[in-house]
Amino acid sequence: MSEIAISRQGTQNAINLVIDSMAQLFSERVSEKLKETGFFPVQEIEVKAESDPNEDELLKVQDVMDILKVKKGAIYDWRKKGILVPDSYVGRSPRYKRSTINDYVNTKTPMI
């Protein structure tokens, strides 16, 4: 690969990081303002992760969907964005440790 192609790829990665950061910041600020004004109803989804003795258990995508109460597309989108990365694969199927899902649940931001 030429130096120009490598440089473009690095630039594209940097641009994507900036865009993702700005989108996250924008989302958080809009959510805060909506809560302050009370003009639009804001729904916070709260899911408590239970301490589980089986934290190393590998979960399928369907299990993660059930725990997080989201659709399959959201999980695949988060994987592409690096938000929720699989801990391993069985064949081509991603697997997530229960502890990874619990950590995500305990650190995610409220949704609008």
Q: What is the pTM of this model?
A: 0.51
Q: Assess whether pLDDT exceeds 50 at residue 32.
A: yes
Q: What is the largest CA-CA distance in the chain?
A: 54
Place of tokens 């659709």: 71
pLDDT band at 91 (very low <50, low <70, confident <90, very high): very high
- In 3D space, the residue among 71, 66, 64 whose CA is nearest the CA of residue 100 turns out to be 64
Rounded to whole angstroms, the Cα distance separating 4 from 23 reads 28
For 1-112, where are the E strands, in sequence order?
Answer: 58-59, 88-90, 93-97
Rounded to whole angstroms, the Cα distance separating 50 from 89 reads 24
